[in-house]
Amino acid sequence: MVVDSVITGEGEAVSQNHADVIIVGAGHNGLTAGSYLAKAGLSVLVVEATDKVGGMTSTNPVIAAAPDHRINEGAMDASLIRNTKIIEELELATKFGLREVALDPIYAALGADGASLCIYKDAERTADEIRQFSSSDARAFLELANAMDAVARIVIPYMNTNPVRPLAGGSLTGVLKAALRPKRLGPLARYLAASHAEAIDEHFTHPLVKAPLAALPCFVPMSEDGTGWALMFFGLHHHSGVARFVGGTGAITDALGRCFAAAGGKVRFDAVVDEVLVTGGRATGIRLEGGEELRARAVITTNNVKVALTDMLPDGALPEAMAERVKYIPTDSTNGASFKVDVALSGRLQLTQHQAQRTDDVDLRVPGLVYGTFEDHVNAWAACARGEMPDPLAGVAVIPTAADPTQAPDGQDTFWFWTGIAPAHPHVPWEDQAEATADRAIAHASKFIDGFDTLTIARQVMTPPKFEERFRSPDGNVYHVDPTATRFGPLRPTAGLAGYKTPIEGLFISGGGTHPSAGICGVPGQLAAKVVLKSLKGAADAPGPASGAVSTNAGDNGHVSTADRARAFAASRR
């Protein structure tokens, strides 16, 4: 058996060739699963392809010309995890240094004429703001919020519950409560059956109201029937609010990494898992690129689930019908993919015109900014379907340093623009149009935000192929699996695989492609850990070494690489 060194949270390296549980991927779901399992007394090894924890919740100085500007490589706003108990249960804030800034207003829609409309956590407050533009839209917004509140009361317990055992999580109570208030259900049925675009167009009139309703839940082609469910986004936000983490989104995986290490978990970096080892219908470990094998009683994959169940399994490991089914797990069915521009700036961006028109003390630099119109969003989805680049791109812009100045030198900004409505496979290859597309994105932003022309130090442009390379997610899919209505609950990622178990004993799936969804959520990791614990109950009841330390062969094997020591967990998070 091959033995190699393992980096620990303390920067200590020990030799190890097996663990109770091996987890593929040190994104937030891998580290969440690892933390629950290690705290339960199991030996846990997380194997990560890159040299850092974080995955799509990474904050790093990736712009070479601006090494002190820390860039949020993937996610920005945290909401789903605020509907869970993970931060509390893992003591991420109280013991492991996680700090957050709650946003209120959460978003601001910017009009071409200098007007702005803020979306608050509280629906009534948002309605008050909308009333300045249209009283009928304010009424419609409250009706939407009321309908989506009923959905949120069902969805939140369900999202915290194993999707194949929903009665255990209190979702039924939500259904009964909703059923007892039938007045809410009428409008709800209309919203859910309609297309996202139709639901907005039918109920709302003012452009500044319609724009954020189109922009914020921008997951699915908005003119297709049955996509109105996306508006549920607002129901969830009214429950949980939205926060950003101090230090950037990477702060959550830093805190999880500290929690995991404190419980005895280990992370091995620069280790690409090539294959899950399957012997006699049972997962027995993993093989790394290069051929090294590591053994475990259970393996959890948190990398892209389609990759895990196709490329990483030996032929014939899955039953034939399931092997066919997993090939159809969709990663580019919506024709929409992610394009992102990050900019490092030598001073502060301003929203001069819009700020001047506000009569309250809202600082428009802080919320997420929407300046694409409703029509821009409808047209962008249509352009993606044709394989063409939307013009303008429709997305969300954030000045991360406005809410948290620690992410850049004093008085300087970073800028984050992301759209999920860019073609995954455009007719003109991405490498031939990435820079020009970024130029247009910044030119569009400059109509609303001042300072790009004089303050820009350098920028990073991320296209779907670059996201695919950076995060090993097919088509650069930031949701791991397309977030279409038919891929949620018992159908995520596909029928028969929703409860984290696979037909291969000892192999479990997790990550953004599993229930409840992608996003900064943690529940896929938390619930997968519960299923694994149950399955390894004997081991959990009778852990090996005290305090849950990872079983190692250090005494027998002794090899500790100096280079690996130097790349220790703590140092790698600088």
Ligand X SMILES: Cc1cc2nc3c(=O)[nH]c(=O)nc-3n(C[C@H](O)[C@H](O)[C@H](O)COP(=O)(O)OP(=O)(O)OC[C@H]3O[C@@H](n4cnc5c(N)ncnc54)[C@H](O)[C@@H]3O)c2cc1C
Q: Which residue's CB is nearer to ligand X, number 27 or number 423? A: 27
Report, in Å, the least distance between residue 555 CB and ligand X: 27
Report, in Å, the least distance between residue 80 CB and ligand X: 6
Asked if 245 interacts with ligand X (CB under 6 A), we say: no
Cβ atoms of 553 and 17 closer than 8 Å: yes
Find, among 313, 312, 300, 308, the residue nearest to 331 by Cα. 308
Residue of 340, 444, 501, 573 interacting with ligand X (CB under 6 A)? 340
Residue of 197, 478, 523, 549 interacting with ligand X (CB under 6 A)? 478
- Enumerate the β-bridge partners of residue 277: 285
Per CB under 6 A, the segment of 130-138, 254-262, 317-325, 513-521 that binds ligand X is 513-521
Q: Give the span between the Cα atoms of 113 and 423, in whole angstroms.
A: 30
Per CB under 6 A, the segment of 20-28, 101-109, 195-203, 327-335 that binds ligand X is 20-28
Cβ-based neighbours of 540, under 8 Å, separated by 6 or more: 40, 41, 42, 533
Q: Which residue's CB is nearer to ligand X, number 75 or number 329? A: 75
Asked if 341 interacts with ligand X (CB under 6 A), we say: no
Report, in Å, the least distance between residue 397 CB and ligand X: 12
Binding mask of the shown chain, residues 169 to 208, with x at each position contacting ligand X by CB under 6 A:
----------------------------------------
Report, in Å, the least distance between residue 427 CB and ligand X: 23
Per CB under 6 A, the segment of 18-26, 34-42, 233-241, 563-571 that binds ligand X is 18-26
Cβ-based neighbours of 125, under 8 Å, separated by 6 or more: none
Q: Which residue's CB is nearer to ligand X, number 83 or number 353? A: 83
Report, in Å, the least distance between residue 293 CB and ligand X: 14
Tokens representing 66 are: 């601006």
CA distances (Å), 296 to each of 43, 381, 467, in order? 9, 44, 30
- Our measurement of the distance from residue 373's CA atom to the centroid of its chain's CA atoms, rounded to an integer in Å, reads 25
DSSP codes of every residue in 82-134: GGSSHHHHTTTTTTS---EEEESS-EEEE-TTS-EEEE-SSHHHHHHHHHTT-
Binding mask of the shown chain, residues 46 to 85, with x at each position contacting ligand X by CB under 6 A:
-xxxx----xxx----------------xxxxx-x-----
- Enumerate the β-bridge partners of residue 458: 344
Asked if 123 interacts with ligand X (CB under 6 A), we say: no
What b/e string do you get for 366-388 counting C-beta neighbours within 10 Å, with b at 16 or more?
A: bbbbbbbbbebbbbbbbbbeeee
Asked if 36 interacts with ligand X (CB under 6 A), we say: no
Asked if 536 interacts with ligand X (CB under 6 A), we say: no
What b/e string do you get for 192-215 counting C-beta neighbours within 10 Å, with b at 16 or more?
A: bebbbbbbbbebbebbbbbbbbbb
Asked if 482 interacts with ligand X (CB under 6 A), we say: no
Report, in Å, the least distance between residue 249 CB and ligand X: 7
Judging by beta carbons within 10 Å of its beta carbon (0-12, 13-18, 19+), is residue 182 exposed, middle or buried? exposed
Asked if 252 interacts with ligand X (CB under 6 A), we say: no
Find, among 516, 512, 429, 430, the residue nearest to 473 by Cα. 512
CA dihedral angle for residue 426, residue 217, residue 392, residue 249, rounded to 10 degrees: -80
Size of site (CB under 6 A) for ligand X: 37
Asked if 23 interacts with ligand X (CB under 6 A), we say: no
Give, as one character, the DSSP assignment of residue 487.
G
Judging by beta carbons within 10 Å of its beta carbon (0-12, 13-18, 19+), is residue 134 exposed, middle or buried? middle
CA angle, residues 101, 102, 107, in degrees to nearest 5: 115
Asked if 471 interacts with ligand X (CB under 6 A), we say: yes
Q: Give the span between the Cα atoms of 260 and 569, in whole angstroms.
A: 11
Report, in Å, the least distance between residue 433 CB and ligand X: 19
Report, in Å, the least distance between residue 75 CB and ligand X: 3
Per CB under 6 A, the segment of 13-21, 43-51, 193-201, 440-448 that binds ligand X is 43-51
Asked if 438 interacts with ligand X (CB under 6 A), we say: no
Q: Which residue's CB is nearer to ligand X, number 27 or number 489? A: 27
Residues in region 372-431 near ligand X by CB under 6 A: 418
* Sites of contact with ligand X (CB under 6 A): 24-30, 47-50, 55-57, 74-78, 80, 272-273, 302-303, 338, 340, 418, 467, 471-473, 478, 511-512, 518-520
